[in-house]
């Protein structure tokens, strides 16, 4: 019985250590894709710290990759046109690749709408205040 208690304590300690490691490792490293992209009709798409959000809505994790068609981000959940809602995140549809124009430092990202794609351009940084360096 004493061995079982020691073994159980060891397993619990190991589980706590693994959980702490996973929580403390932080967001995945950026591959140069981060930024805020905007479209005049459709709002903004933000890529930051491994999460993508549309118009400030919920954030979903994404992976960055490259294939024969070029660089892309692939959200873990569908991001694109949702009927009667505009651009949004929708867990009921299959996730699709969102194309970047280049990597690192993309200036545009494409969100799908059927066979079309809407282009969101990188939002310019606000100008520095006078006298700032």
User: Tens digit of pLDDT per residue, the chain (133 long)?
Assistant: 666 556 555 555 555 554 444 444 445 556 788 999 998 888 899 999 999 998 888 899 999 999 999 999 999 998 887 776 677 788 888 899 999 999 889 999 998 877 888 899 998 665 555 655 5
Sheet (strand 108-113) strand order:
98-99, 70-75, 59-67, 51-54, 43-48, 35-39, 116-122, 108-113
What is the per-residue pLDDT for 33? Answer: 86
What pTM value is reported for the model?
Answer: 0.68
How far is the C-alpha of 40 from the C-alpha of 50, rounded, in Å? 25
Contact 33, 47 (CB under 8 A): yes
Which of 101, 108, 81, 85 shows the shortest CA–CA distance to 93?
81
Q: Tokens for 65, please give them.
A: 């990759």
Contact 79, 98 (CB under 8 A): yes
């Amino acid at each position: 019985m004493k061995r079982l208690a020691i073994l159980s304590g060891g397993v619990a300690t190991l589980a706590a250590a693994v959980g702490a490691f996973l929580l403390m490792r932080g967001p995945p490293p950026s591959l140069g894709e981060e930024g805020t992209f905007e479209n005049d009709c459709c709002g903004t798409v933000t890529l930051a710290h491994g999460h993508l959000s549309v118009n400030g809505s919920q954030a979903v994790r994404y992976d960055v990759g490259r294939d024969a068609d070029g660089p892309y981000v692939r959200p873990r959940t569908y991001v694109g046109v949702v009927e009667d809602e505009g651009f949004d995140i929708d867990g009921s549809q299959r996730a699709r690749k969102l194309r970047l124009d280049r990597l690192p430092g993309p200036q545009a990202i494409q969100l799908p709408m059927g066979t079309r794609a809407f282009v969101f351009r990188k939002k310019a940084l606000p100008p520095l205040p006078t006298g700032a360096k």
